[in-house]
Structure 1
Amino acid sequence: MFFIHQNYKKLDLMMEWIPYSQFTNVKKIAEGGFGIVYRATWLGGQDETVILKRFKNSRNISKDFLNEVFLKLL
């Protein structure tokens, strides 16, 4: 699972792979055109609450999806 983290002080973006086993309390909160959105607790992030998005078709990640992700981070 990729995790995109934003450092608000520098406005830098970082993407890293995090195993699904590092998340607990995964709850579906919405579904949209690109996939399903979940809220979860990330155990490796000092039990930080995070938002996860699962692609409907992960083999065809579109430019529109990536734009949606980055716009929501700004």
Structure 2
Amino acid sequence: MRVSVAESVGEIVLQLCSCINRQQYLPKMPTRTELSNVFDPSLPDCQPYLFKVCRVPIRPGKPCSFHFFQLSFEESLFR
């Protein structure tokens, strides 16, 4: 079952990537004068982007405090 689920998820990811990988969604290549604004030229073999895409949760919660409360509650029950 794990193999079939993994294959299904893999196929879905590949379909999404093929839909997103169209010319209309890809950024235009910068001109030679703008390369240092987009890529990091300090690495000769590869040139990673200078900026990072990160996701911030909409409602940041405190799962640590809830987990601590749950552990404390369970410990108090079994004493």
Give 1 or 2: higher helix fraction: 2
| Larger relative contact order (Cα-Cα within 8 Å, sequence gap ≥ 6) | 1
Question: Which TM-score band (shorter chain)?
Answer: under 0.3
Give the TM-score normalised by the residue count of structure 1.
0.17
Give 1 or 2: higher strand fraction: 1
Give the TM-score normalised by the residue count of structure 2.
0.16
Quick check: which has more Rg, 1 or 2? 2
